[in-house]
Amino acid sequence: MPCNVVVLISGSGSNLQALIDSLGYDGNPARIAAVISNRADAYGLQRAQRAGIATELLDHKQFDGREAFDAALILAIDAHQPDLVVLAGFMRILTPGFVQHYAGRLLNIHPSLLPRHKGLHTHQRALEAGDSEHGCSVHFVTEELDGGPLVVQAVLPVTADDTVESLASRVHQQEHQIYPLAVRWFAEGRLRLGAQGAMLDGQPLPASGHLIRT
């Protein structure tokens, strides 16, 4: 049985493209049922349409508050009977009710080695902090912002001549590797959220998740 995935975006959709490109290989059971954006100008909508994937626009500015938007978003997502909801550059703070509704089937990717540098401007903050390593993290979403159990992290060295732009570019490349990997694990039934945190093949993952060093 395919694993129905709904992807939420707000922007260019480069991680969405990486997910689209990973489908249909080696029996990958993940299937993107729909892509939903809160912004009409999100280029990711065009990426989805080119791939023949259903798209939907739900403009948050048309709703009276976060709860009303999230309630409508739940209805839009659930119409596609998702097994998994994937946040791919979805620039909205989600309400606790939304997060609870999709508990254990909601993934996000963040451009830092969580728990370091939650929030925005992660590459600049990593450089300013003098970090020797930087990277990106896939995690299950909980009510704590960028705080859910870690699934997989790609770790890369920070070089002396790195800039915000060069670091962002290298981290992006790793995002496009680890997000499809985590989604495939989930689709294959290998990845689950248990009482103790993220589980892979029935075993608890370490607090840092599965580490991939580049």
Residues with catalytic roles:
110
Q: What is the DSSP letter of 188?
A: T
What are the phi and psi torsion angles at 96 (to 5°)? -55, -40
Residue from 84, 72, 70, 69 nearest 180 by CA: 84
* Pairing mode of beta strands 3-9, 84-87: parallel
Residue from 98, 102, 112, 202 nearest 150 by CA: 112
Q: Any idea which residue has 């509704």 for tokens?
A: 101
